[in-house]
Amino acid sequence: MDLHESSENYLEMIMMLREQKGYVRSVDIAAALSVTKPSVSHAMKQLRESGYITMDDENYILLTVSGEAAARRIYHRHRTLTSFLCALGVSEDVAREDACKMEHDLSEESFHAICRFLEER
Amino acid sequence: MDLHESSENYLEMIMMLREQKGYVRSVDIAAALSVTKPSVSHAMKQLRESGYITMDDENYILLTVSGEAAARRIYHRHRTLTSFLCALGVSEDVAREDACKMEHDLSEESFHAICRFLEER
DNA sequence: TACGTATGTTAGCCATGGCTAACCTTCATC
DNA sequence: GATGAAGGTTAGCCATGGCTAACATACGTA
């Protein structure tokens, strides 16, 4: 039941699109992540079967309680790591890209150390 | 010709083992990385065909010039990122583990920002 | 009504990078 | 000389996560 990197990315993007547009469809995810419709379709099927999302009659994508929790965790890491890199002098765009790669692997311990650094600075 | 994460890990480990033991065989890599002999054998074949390593008559593994450069780059990143996390208060073991994941993805820009932070601190 | 566009799905392919099973070679020891 | 251990390889399987091709469905418009 543990989430792989790509699943975490999809959940995060669902949350980001919900904030931006108020709703989320597969085609929006495909555009935002630069992947094809079948890739999204397949990923959504997995997330549905694992209980992280549901899709209503009109194929709008909704996060379940566990999906919401997982998405929030990754999104929080994403924003924190972006701020952190910016604080070190990295440009916004690069900081966002690198945060997107680090957010999945970093241990709780290192992530908390980075949070502390940001607070104390 | 660009290196994937696992290839970078193998090259890095070859350099680490050379430092530790003075020589490198496939079986040592397997033990150090906790993978099976066939996995190493397959990876070494790829690295050989891509010109990053050679193997002598007795199957000792040697880095070529390009292999040496790639290994040095990743190993340098590994040590720098480990120091960096330790400087933030992360324990040695966790710092090493996390450095091992970050070392492949991080952009040059972010890596340099981290180097600057370590120097100026 | 027929057609085109937007959205989603299924089927099937590919690369990466693990794994086990089986085999080969070399070498030391009984 | 037979046996077994150590090291390496090949063949073939699996999961992850992309891709294209083809199809289904809905909906608006000529």
- Which tens digits make up the pLDDT trace of B68-110? 999 999 999 999 999 999 999 999 999 999 999 999 999 999 9
Q: Output the CA–CA distances (angstroms, integers) from residue A68 to A13, A52, A115, in the order listed.
A: 12, 8, 22
Min Cα–Cα distance to chain B from A45, Å: 28
Q: Under a CB-based contact definition with an 8 Å cutoff, are residues B98 and B85 in contact?
A: yes
C-alpha torsion sign, points B102, B83, A80, B106: negative
pTM, entire model: 0.92
- CB contacts of A94 in chain B (<8 Å) are 107, 109-110
**Does residue A1 surpass a pLDDT of 80?**
no
Nearest to A16 by CA among A32, A40, A34: A32
Chain B: residue whose CA lies nearest to A110:
B90
Nearest to A71 by CA among A5, A14, A30: A14
Query: Average pLDDT in the A34-49 region?
Result: 97
Cβ of A116 within 8 Å of Cβ of B91? The answer is no
Distance B59 CA to D7 C1' (A): 9
